[in-house]
Structure 1
Amino acid sequence: MDSRPSSRHPRRLLLRAALVAVVAVVALVAVPGAASARGTVVPLLDCVVANDDGSWTAVFGYRNTSSSPVRIPTGPRNKVTPATVGSPQPTTFQPGTHRGAFTVTVARGAGPMWHLDGTNLAARRGTATACPSSTQMPADGNGTGAAIALVAAGLVGTVAVQRARRRAPAGRGDR
């Protein structure tokens, strides 16, 4: 039996720690918190923009009063009426106040209403604040942040595993 201390043991611990860290990051990003209490997320009407063709655009935000992300899937507790193409509203709500989460463009007539976590918020062109000309409208693609974080976590984990393998002495097998 070999009585020499194994220089590989600390590497194994480092590799396991890196893998545990990657799994923890993936779990935190991939599984946002569930809505725990009615009314923890409220919709906000940031402002409206009059468009040249007679339509207008409502800019919505939200406030999450909990200390963790809340997930409310599109459905009875998270919907925009009248129904819009693609249901653009977010489904994961980060803590705090977030302006400009999404927009809804409306032809002439009645404005949209966002039904969110027990609160109904109607956008009315005549009574809403007009957006300043410098307002940057939200970009398309809400919800891609989680996918990007998952890919980044996977890359970090892959690099950590490859570095640990390269540092292992050649010719020594696992014991």
Structure 2
Amino acid sequence: MHGPPRSSTARRLRARASRGALVAVLALIGLAASPGMASAAATYTVKPVLNCYEENADDSWTVVVGYVNSSRTTVHIPRGADNQAHPSKFASLPPTSFKPGTVNGAFTAVVSLSDLYSGARWVLDGYTLDYRAAASSSRTCPSSTELPAQGNGLGPAIGLAVAGVVGAVLVRRARKRALAVTGGDDA
């Protein structure tokens, strides 16, 4: 043996200290690598934009709203504090899934003059798009613009689902009647 003999107590203490230091280093690496933990400042990636607007005969405006997602992936922002339209009657219009890049015409809204003057807006990912204020730096929609339907595109899907349920109920009733007339059992 080279050097003085070491006690088993000293070796155990050194081993515990080494393991403790390793656990601390791994915990710090884990915290730094986990999303949202490395920085106290939020990084915003999705910004709402007013594509264009159209003044209607009743003094309301039809606003065509889009967004710019500066990340390389689709971002999901549920409705709530980070994705909300005002006044509340427009709450269901904004999307909750945002593809990368610029998306024009994500939704439209017909906004009354009183709504415009009371601050009709879309709050998204830390940005606020006030429709009236944004109109000063936006353009009116050209007459050739085909405005997207108001809403978030779920109308046709809901209509098809309702039609399917009604069709299934009608088929079942017709089958029961046919079985009743022929005296058969409905399995």
Classify the TM-score, shorter chain.
0.5 to 0.7
Q: Corresponding residue for 1:117?
A: 125
Distance 1:143 1:110 in 2: 23
Alignment of 1:2-151 (within 5 A): 38-85=43-90, 87-111=92-116, 112-124=120-132, 127=136, 128-139=138-149, 142=152
Code of the aligned partner of 1:137: L
Question: What is the deviation of 1:84?
Answer: 2.1
Code of the aligned partner of 1:43: P
Q: Which has the larger radius of gyration?
A: 2
Distance 1:90 1:65 in 2: 16
**Aligned-pair Cα RMSD in Å:** 2.4
Q: Which runs of 5+ in 1 are unaligned?
A: 1-34, 148-175
> Would the aligned equivalents of 2:51 and 2:66 in 1 still touch at CA under 8 Å?
yes
Name the CA shift for 1:143/1:91 in 2 (closer, same or farther; >3 Å).
farther
Name the CA shift for 1:136/1:116 in 2 (closer, same or farther; >3 Å).
same
Q: Output one character per residue of 1:83-136: Cα deviation in whole Å (capped at 9) or x when no partner.
A: 124520011000000001101111123422110000011111762421111112
Q: Which runs of 5+ in 2 are unaligned?
A: 1-34, 37-41, 158-187
TM-score by length of 1: 0.56
Distance 2:80 2:108 in 1: 18
TM-score by length of 2: 0.53
Bigger relative CO (Cα 8 Å, ≥ 6 apart): 1
Give aligned-pair identity as a percent: 46
Name the CA shift for 1:143/1:65 in 2 (closer, same or farther; >3 Å).
farther
Distance 2:90 2:67 in 1: 20
> Would the aligned equivalents of 1:110 and 1:124 in 2 still touch at CA under 8 Å?
no
Helix, strand or coil for the counterpart of 1:124? helix
